[in-house]
Structure 1
Amino acid sequence: MPLKTGRGACAPPFLVMDVIAAANARAAALAPGEPGVIRMEVGQPGSGAPAGAAEAAVRALQGGMPLGYTEAFGLPSLRARIARHYADRYGLQVPPDRIAVTVGASGAFPLAFLAAFDPGDAVAMAAPYYPPYANILTALGMKPLLLPCDGSTRFQPTVAMLEKLDPRPAGLVLASPCNPAGTMLPPDEFIAIARWCETEGVRLVSDEIYHGLSHGELREETAAAHSESAVVVNSFSKYWSMTGWRIGWLLLPPDLLRPVECLAQNLFISAPHVAQVAAEAAMDCGPELEANRARYRRNRALLLRELPRAGLDRLSPADGAFYLWADVGHLTNDSVAFCARMLAETGVAATPGVDFDRERGGRFLRLSYCGPEADMAEGAERLRRWLGRA
């Protein structure tokens, strides 16, 4: 008799991980002297953790610290440092006891969703969207409610869209800057959405992991400044370049503190101790991190100039993060096959749009520009030749 499978079997794959595997396989099979793979598929900074973070980890490892479990919500010193970050960046006074250190943002989302929502609850989000939002909700028995967005709203939701929802959803996931489009909401629109959620009893989950990586004139806003019930998710993976350290945090409203703490105790015990030590040190590595951001900005400017010359001229505004959302509908309606052929024939890896929008993503792809500057220039040149623009 076949064994039963659980709820996790209904979660769709995160396709970018398959693209990473294919790019790794191609790189491993290259002959000596053959052009390498240009990695534009993954949202992972090309630089590692800042030097001060690595040095702090080495000191902890060599200094005889046991590096055992911490409190479920993390080291008090790290939580206090994160609280100071809110004061420095946003002018917002946050009690450290409202901060929960997590196993990356990926560990934060299940905690937030389980604490805030029940099975069967609808949680709205813009489409295109970061796939694990919907995939985690689905695995937990909740219902992603997709709001189709396009360039006319900067691929972001609006209050007018939300007003049309009847019944109201239990929650809204919002990201500014967002993945995959790299767009931001103007501050007044962000604040209006946060206040609408507060008034309508819709729990706002604000994904702020790309804060610090805005490139235009739009100001970053934290939902915690505009909604007493909002949940804020952040991470050391992007601005602080610490993806593999798996360290992030939640800024929680008072009513979710104990529920999230109990869940964290049971699901994770605590985030890795050594990663917490390194993360605290990383927050004082401003010059190195700002140099990274300057490189992303140069890469962005290069691609916004060169990709149109290659025939990829339908690009998102790219206000922040390190992504370009490219409409390739004039070239294909099958972004999975298009990206596979592009990797095979040019060595440029990109993520198919269907990962972020199952209905419309066949005509889009996402390009990440956080790699080395030379790779970004080479990638644009390869695409120009491949698409017959030489």
Structure 2
Amino acid sequence: MALKTGRGAAAPPFIVMDVITAANVRQAALPPGAPHVIRMEVGQPGTGAPAGAVAAVQAALAAGAPMGYTETFGRRSLRERIARHYAAWYGLALPMDRVAVTVGASGAFPLAFLAAFDPGDRVAMAAPFYPPYVNILTALGIEPVIIEAGADTRFQPTVAMLERLAPRPDGLIVASPCNPAGTMLHPQELADIAAWCHRNGVRLISDEIYHGLNYDSPLATAAALSPSAIVVNSFSKYFSMTGWRIGWLVLPDDLIRPVECLAQNLFISPPHIAQIAAEAAFDCTDELQANVARYRRSRDLLLAALPGAGFPRLSPAEGAFYLYADVSDRSNDAHDFCARMLAEAGVAASPGVDFDRMRGHHFVRFSYCGPEADMAEAAARLAHWR
């Protein structure tokens, strides 16, 4: 007799994780001395945690500091430091009480979705999008509403697109800089969207985990533009701390206690040791800005080299560390295209179908946060592969 499974058991895979597995298998099968697989499939910074963050953890462990539960929203010193970060970067006076430290941004999204929405609610986002948005919402019984955005709006939503939605959604997710296209909502565009959402009773969730990784356009935070918006951020990208699993939420007043109660039950508290590292990371500006400069150089190299390697249609890449390439002139099956590129050129990239289930068969995402030498070698391999 077959047992019942829950709705979450039907969640589709996050395809990039399968690409990681395939790249690992290929690398392990290579003979000694063979050219290594170049990893452009995942947003994994090529550098580890900043030296000051590692040193702070080493000092705490050497001193025998207890690593137990913290308050559910995290250590007060870290929350205060995050609040000061908003004053320094955005000129925003943010009360510490609105800051919730989370188990990565991945832990922040379910908290935000559960606190803000009910099963059956509708939450909009522009495609292409970060796949777990849809997968988590669906597992929670919340309906994703997909807005098809294109290169004409830098793959970002507009107020005009939102006005055409009928009925109006209960929520909207935006990401700036965004994954997979690396494009941004410019400050006035984000302000217009935030005002539209607040005016129309639409809960705005702003994914800002790539803040700090912006090259040509200024940043704006939804926390400064709307009293009802939820902001998600993380130490994984700009701070280069993916494996430490530490992020944060900036919450509107009406969701502070609801999110705290949910977090108490789902996570108890963020990892203590990661919080020590995260607080120290704020003082590692020189090292972090050197990482940004490296990403910029890799971006500029690829924007110059990839068109000649058979990838002439690339996203503007204003921020983050991704290029979204239209490969429709070479394939209508991005999954197969990426598999061949891995097998024949030794370059791992992510098929666009992970980010856009309708049009993604024609797109490939390249991540350029790996070593600079690898990014240059990737361009050379792809030119030869063409």
Q: Could you say whether these structures have the same fold, taking a TM-score greater than 0.5 normalized by the shorter chain as the test? A: yes
User: Could you tell me which residue of structure 1 aligns to residue 191 of structure 2?
Assistant: 191
1:187 Cα deviation from its structure 2 partner: 1.5
The answer on 1:62 being equivalent to 2:72 is no
Give the secondary-structure state (helix, strand or coil) at the position aligned to 1:88. Answer: helix
Structure 2 distance, partners of 1:322, 1:77, is 30
Question: Deviations along 1:101-140, whole A, 9 cap, x unmatched?
Answer: 0000000000000000000100000000000000000000
Q: Which amino acid aligns with 2:308?
A: R
1:10 is displaced (CA, Å) by 2.1
Aligned pairs for 1:30-45 within 5 A: 30-45=30-45
Q: 1:275 — aligned with what?
A: 274
Displacement of 1:12:
1.1
- Rounded to whole Å, the distance in 2 between the matches of 1:127 and 1:136 is 16
> d(CA) in 1 for partners of 2:64 and 2:373?
41
* Distance across 1 between alignment mates of 2:375 and 2:263: 40
Q: Cα distance, 1:194 vs. partner?
A: 0.5
Match of 1:360 in 2: 359
The equivalent residue for 1:298 is: 297
Q: Which residue of 2 aligns with 1:225?
A: 224
Q: Deviations over 1:260-289 (max 9, x none)?
A: 000000000011000000000001100000
Query: CA offsets per residue over residues 144-181 of structure 1, 9 Å max, x none?
Result: 10000000000000000000112110100001110000
Residue 200 of structure 1, CA deviation: 0.4
Q: Following the alignment from structure 1 to structure 2, what is the Cα–Cα distance between the partners of residues 190 and 152?
A: 17
> 1:211 maps to what in 2?
211
2:104 — aligned with what?
104
Is residue 337 of structure 1 aligned with residue 325 of structure 2? no
Quick one: which amino acid aligns to residue 347 of structure 2?
V
Does the aligned pair in 1 maintain the 2:186–2:220 contact within 8 Å? no
Q: How does 1:1-390 map to 2 (within 5 A)?
A: 1-216=1-216, 218-387=217-386
Q: Which AA in structure 2 matches 1:139? A: A
Aligned residue pairs total 386
| Distance across 2 between alignment mates of 1:223 and 1:328 | 33
Structure 1 residue 143 displacement after superposition: 0.5
Please give the alpha-carbon distance, in whole angstroms, between the structure 2 residues aligned to 1:201 and 1:169: 9
SS state at 2:125 partner = strand
Distance 1:331 1:369 in 2: 22
1:12-47 per-residue CA deviation (whole Å, 9 max, x = no partner) reads 110000000111111111111100000000001000
Q: Residue 182 of structure 2 contacts residue 323 of structure 2 at CA under 8 Å; is this kept in 1?
A: yes
SS of 1:365's equivalent in the other structure is strand
Q: Which residue identity is paired with 1:38?
A: I
Q: Return 5+ residue gaps in structure 1 as ranges.
A: none
Distance 2:276 2:358 in 1: 43
Q: CA RMSD in A?
A: 0.5
Distance between the aligned counterparts of 2:240 and 2:278, measured in 1?
10
Moved over 2 A (4+): none
- Structure 2: any 5+ residue segments left out of the alignment? none
Instruction: Tell me the alpha carbon deviations over residues 177-225 of structure 1, each in whole angstroms, 9 at most, x when there is no partner.
Output: 1000000112111110010001000000000000000011x21110011
- 2:275 match: secondary structure: helix
* Kept in 2: contact 1:245–1:275 (CA 8 A): yes
CA contact (8 A) 1:10 1:138 kept: no
Distance 1:236 1:204 in 2: 21
User: Percent identity at matched positions?
Assistant: 72
Q: Is the 8 A contact 2:231 2:249 kept in 1?
A: yes
| Conserved 8 A contact 2:43-2:321 | yes
Separation in 2, partners of 1:44, 1:200: 37
> What is the CA–CA distance in structure 2 between the aligned matches of 1:145 and 1:159, rounded to whole Å?
15
Instruction: Give the letter aligned to residue 14 of structure 1.
Output: F
Q: Distance in 2 between matches of 1:332 and 1:368?
A: 20
Aligned partners of 1:303 and 1:376 also within 8 Å: yes
CA distance in 1, matches of 2:64, 2:50: 23
